[in-house]
Structure 1
Amino acid sequence: MLYRSTCLLCLFIAILNSHCTPPANGDDAYKSPDGYDLNKPFIIKLPVELDEISGVAFYAKDTSVFAVGDEFGWLYKIPLTGGKPIHKWKFSANGDYEDLVMVDKVFYVLQSNGNITAFTFDDQNRILTQQVDFPSRGNEFEILYYDPHLFKLTLICKDCESDKKKALTAFYFNLLNKHFDDSTSIDVTALANMIGEKKIKFKPSAAAINPVTDELYILSSINKLLVIADRQGNPKQAYPIDEGLFKQPEGITFTPEGNMIISNESAKSGVANLLFFKYNKKAKS
């Protein structure tokens, strides 16, 4: 599965022909990062089977999104072109799966305890799987993203025993030797200051690097925030998000052109969906 650029016009035609609905919030009440309008996404409804969609990864070769759900060990391929079916493959037993990254031909799926399941398809379309266990217990994760500059995956703690309210720990998974190696931290105090709070218990649920701006976008479903940081995790900007539109955002991915795709669980209200935000580099918030 080779990663290549895709025709932006074809993507928008595909989305407009798919099952889209107007945004939940008609008022432009929420500020947006440069290049985006967080108030006006294309909304793609998903079937009930994907009510607990979590991690997502854009696949440029045929304009689709790979996804995993929270519990059942299935990989889904969701086409963004109208009229095409969703495909799925069983990659593992039931578990608590939180995020998905695709690097070259290999999929990496994060479990909430930090374990990573890596798998790929052989020439006969059979799945080859390897699991790497996180070296310690008592941690909870929802985020796994790829940094191409480091050739490493990064896990950000949602709730780790060693963390206090002032910082969140991030751990690296080295793709060269398939081992966890270094760690770093995200300054939560700086984030609290940005939103006018003395302190905040930040619990992030999804993150990805924007390939156009080279910034790290971090979502928090609980805090209803979109945080933009540098690649080291230092917060630069923070944007409150509409809880009616972002009812439970659990995954984020980007197209090569910078278009942002966010997955929402159903959250016991309606169905799960994908929110597609067009990137316009000339637009300013």
Structure 2
Amino acid sequence: MTKWAVGIIIAVLTLVGLVYYLHKENSYDFDESMKEYEIVQKWNLPNPLDEISGMVWMGNDRIACIQDEDGIIFIFDLNTSEIVAEYKFGGPGDYEGLTLLNDELWVAESNGKLFRVRDLNDPEKTQEFQTGFEYKNNIEGIAATEEGNILILPKDRNLNSTGDGLHDAIYLYDPVEDKLNKEPYLTINYDDEAFKVLPVTEPEDLIRPSDLKIHPNSGDIYVLGAQIPKLLILDNEGKIKKIYLLKPREFYQPEGICFSPSGRIFISNEAKGTDASILEVKLN
């Protein structure tokens, strides 16, 4: 066998292994009878948003999006299915969360930094805050509250914890005082009966959150999970009111969620062997 042929075989095996790795964590026998939602509409995203990681409603059928590599806010128009504007706010980084507070965009980096984008047209006015989280916590989502605070959701480790412990925690950050409350604002307990619907039992597989937002009408907290794709609806004490399992073929890498003021739900997928996308979802 020639070196050329061996090279082709190695390349093919590598590609097969990569595809398997990308899909194995979300591959399980999804029970169609447990599908309690419908997809209203889907938008395939252009290449700059392949790594879409967070989004927030901006009005006029436009959604602000970030991706986890570049410090750029993209404005995506649902009517034209196009990026209509780009605004640089920072350098390269691992940006994961996006929210809107008092008409200003806030961006979270996985290492715990928050960026207050005071003027989209002037990156020099962007302020940077270090909340007290670190890389080991791996911040995945943020959400503004009606009271003017910001909820922060770590993916890997809670504060003052060497591991996931027995719960996932959501924390409260006061942007006026630039102060993080290191005691959890609420906790999602792994022994909650609602988790029995999941086809796993290991704590690290139960949640693995990727984003969160607050419903504009009910005030419930919606937590998106990328591993075993799911949507958790929590009350203001962290009690799970409902878990919606999401079909892996439709939500192959769910990374962002946002609402319109009327309560329309949008969930984004990173590209994972196919186009990145935004899906409007109606829960049954």
Please classify the TM superposition score into its range, dividing by the shorter chain length: 0.7 to 0.9
Q: 1:229 to 1:52 in 2, by over 3 A?
A: same
Q: Equivalents in 1 of 2:150, 2:133: separation in Å?
A: 17
The letter of the residue matching 1:274 is I
Q: Equivalents in 1 of 2:241, 2:282: separation in Å?
A: 21
Q: CA deviation at 1:220?
A: 0.5
Q: CA deviation at 1:30?
A: 3.8
Q: 1:53 to 1:160 in 2, by over 3 A?
A: same
Q: Equivalents in 2 of 1:172, 1:96: separation in Å?
A: 21
Check the 8 A contact 1:230/1:236 in 2, yes or no: yes
Aligned to 1:221: 226
Check the 8 A contact 1:30/1:39 in 2, yes or no: no
Aligned to 1:113: 111
User: Which piece of structure 1 moves more, 99-108 or 48-57?
Assistant: 99-108
Q: Equivalents in 1 of 2:89, 2:132: separation in Å?
A: 23
Check the 8 A contact 2:96/2:109 in 1, yes or no: yes
**Root-mean-square deviation (Å):** 2.2
Q: 1:86 to 1:177 in 2, by over 3 A?
A: same
Aligned to 2:53: 54
Aligned to 1:232: 237
Aligned to 1:256: 261
Aligned to 2:191: 189
Q: 1:209 to 1:136 in 2, by over 3 A?
A: closer
Check the 8 A contact 2:39/2:279 in 1, yes or no: no
Check the 8 A contact 1:30/1:242 in 2, yes or no: no
User: Which piece of structure 1 moves more, 171-180 or 81-90?
Assistant: 81-90
Q: Equivalents in 2 of 1:110, 1:57: separation in Å?
A: 13
Q: Equivalents in 1 of 2:103, 2:153: separation in Å?
A: 23
Alignment partner of 1:209 is 2:214? yes
Aligned to 2:62: 64
Q: CA deviation at 1:183?
A: 2.8
Match of 1:143 among 141, 144, 161: 141
The letter of the residue matching 2:44 is K
Task: Name the structure with the higher helix share.
Answer: 2
Q: Could you give the per-residue CA deviations for residues 51-96 of structure 1, whole angstroms, max 9, x where no partner exists?
A: 0001000012x22000000011110001112276521011100000
Q: Which runs of 5+ in 2 are unaligned?
A: 1-30
The letter of the residue matching 1:203 is R
The letter of the residue matching 1:152 is N
The letter of the residue matching 2:77 is P
Q: Which runs of 5+ in 1 are unaligned?
A: 1-26, 33-37, 280-284
Q: Equivalents in 2 of 1:266, 1:89: separation in Å?
A: 22
Alignment partner of 2:154: what SS? strand
Check the 8 A contact 1:113/1:134 in 2, yes or no: no
Q: CA deviation at 1:29?
A: 4.1
Alignment partner of 1:244: what SS? coil
The letter of the residue matching 1:73 is G
Aligned to 1:178: 178
Q: Equivalents in 2 of 1:200, 1:85: separation in Å?
A: 38
Q: CA deviation at 1:188?
A: 2.1
TM-score, length of structure 1 as denominator length: 0.79
Check the 8 A contact 2:52/2:65 in 1, yes or no: yes
Alignment partner of 1:266: what SS? coil
The letter of the residue matching 2:203 is I
Check the 8 A contact 2:38/2:281 in 1, yes or no: no
Check the 8 A contact 1:57/1:253 in 2, yes or no: yes
Alignment partner of 1:41: what SS? strand
